[in-house]
Homo-oligomer: A and B are copies of this chain.
Amino acid sequence: MRFDESYSGKVFIMSRATYEEADAVIYGMPMDWTVSFRPGSRFGPARIRESSLGLEEYSPYADKHLEEVAYFDAGDIPLPFGNAAKSLDMVEEYVEGLLNDGKFPLGLGGEHLLSWPIFKAMYRKYPDLAIIHIDAHADLREEYEGEVLSHSTPIRKACELIGPENVYSFGIRSGMREEFAYAKESGMNLFKFDVVEPLKRVLPKLKGRHVYVTIDIDVLDPAYAPGTGTAEAGGITSKELLEAQIHLAKADLSIVGADLVEVAPAYDPTEQTTIAASKFVREMLLGWVNKR
């Protein structure tokens, strides 16, 4: 007697009914408590789902239909308010569970620090892991205001975990001098301002690798994604991000997980950010899940 949920705005459209029948699992991470400037991304996952109602199930980019991918939207992990450490532990444990069950984890943030426990779980399973990081901000700080667990540090910690040479950042247009210096000295791969062109050059080098992709919505110019906490002028367009997604889908490598973070609906009065985000999630599902 309850009406069909897969078109209710409560789960991403066309979510399968059960976890068991899914190859990929969408999960929300409603946390923004280490965010300094404008919080609110904790509400991102719910609004991305709601905006998915406006999507077509078929993509002319991928020439595929969502029914061709088996995924389950598990809802939001119930992270404890204000407790960053415990929240990160819960995310790590949850993603580890997904990997153990052979699922493709597709996380929705929430703040970017949430990618850090995911990286740890992914790396335990895939010791040859490479990370593709698409973002406006380098996120390479050692700490932020004395705090190591901050939305400004996850990529630095990733470098320390899997080796800087295995981390590829694209579209970076903001950071401290020290972050850019670290990128240069450590041997990690940081590409400033642009995404599509450097990505096309990098992808052949990742041939056959296991790759995790983390996208911070603020890589887009605020014109395209005003609904984020630390909007930074001078970014790329939605068209360019879609193009990058297609290149990743077609590349000869194995994508083993992905996230989209920092969508903050409070700064998105026209809903354009969540509308765009839901489309990026659709393309992740269509192009990336079955590349494993």
| Residues of chain A having any CB pair with chain B under 8 Å | 1-5, 7-11, 19, 25, 32-40, 42, 46, 50, 53-54, 56-58, 60-61, 65, 72, 74-78, 80-84, 144-147, 150, 172-177, 180, 192-193, 221-224, 226-227, 230-235, 237-239, 242, 266-272, 275-276, 279-280
Most chain B CB atoms below 10 A, which of A4, A9, A40, A77: A9
How many chain copies does the complex carry?
A: 6
Q: Which residues of B are found within 8 Å of A234, using beta-carbon distances?
A: 238-239, 242, 276, 279
Taken together as a complex, chains A and B put the C-alpha atoms of A53 and B81 apart, in Å, by 15
Question: From A278, which residue of chain B is reached at the shortest CB distance?
Answer: B233
* CB-contact partner of A76 in B3, B54, B81, B239, under 8 A: B3
17 CB contacts below 8 A, A to B, read: A7-B78, A9-B10, A34-B81, A38-B40, A38-B54, A39-B40, A40-B40, A46-B50, A57-B176, A58-B177, A60-B173, A65-B177, A221-B239, A223-B238, A224-B233, A233-B280, A267-B271
Taken together as a complex, chains A and B put the C-alpha atoms of A280 and B234 apart, in Å, by 10
Q: Which residues of B are found within 8 Å of A7, using beta-carbon distances?
A: 78
Q: Which residues of B are found within 8 Å of A46, using beta-carbon distances?
A: 9, 50
Q: Which residues of B are found within 8 Å of A176, using beta-carbon distances?
A: 56-58
With contact pairs A37-B54, A75-B8, A226-B270 given, residues A82 and B82 touching in the complex (Cβ less than 8 Å): yes
Q: A2-B19, A223-B224 are in contact. List 18 more A-B contacts (CB 8 A).
A: A1-B25, A1-B74, A2-B74, A2-B75, A3-B74, A3-B76, A34-B81, A38-B266, A56-B176, A58-B177, A193-B239, A221-B223, A221-B224, A231-B270, A233-B272, A234-B239, A266-B267, A269-B269
Taken together as a complex, chains A and B put the C-alpha atoms of A174 and B53 apart, in Å, by 14
Taken together as a complex, chains A and B put the C-alpha atoms of A8 and B241 apart, in Å, by 30
Taken together as a complex, chains A and B put the C-alpha atoms of A115 and B276 apart, in Å, by 27
Is there an interface contact between B266 and A266, defined as CB atoms closer than 8 Å? Answer: yes
Q: Which residues of B are found within 8 Å of A150, using beta-carbon distances?
A: 81-82
CB distance from A62 to the nearest CB of B (A): 11
With contact pairs A233-B275, A242-B234 given, residues A3 and B75 touching in the complex (Cβ less than 8 Å): yes
* CB-contact partner of A222 in B32, B53, B275, under 8 A: B275
Most chain B CB atoms below 10 A, which of A57, A180, A234: A234
Question: From A46, which residue of chain B is reached at the shortest CB distance?
Answer: B9
Is there an interface contact between A82 and B269, defined as CB atoms closer than 8 Å? Answer: no
Is there an interface contact between B35 and A81, defined as CB atoms closer than 8 Å? Answer: yes
With contact pairs A80-B147, A147-B82, A175-B60 given, residues A272 and B222 touching in the complex (Cβ less than 8 Å): yes
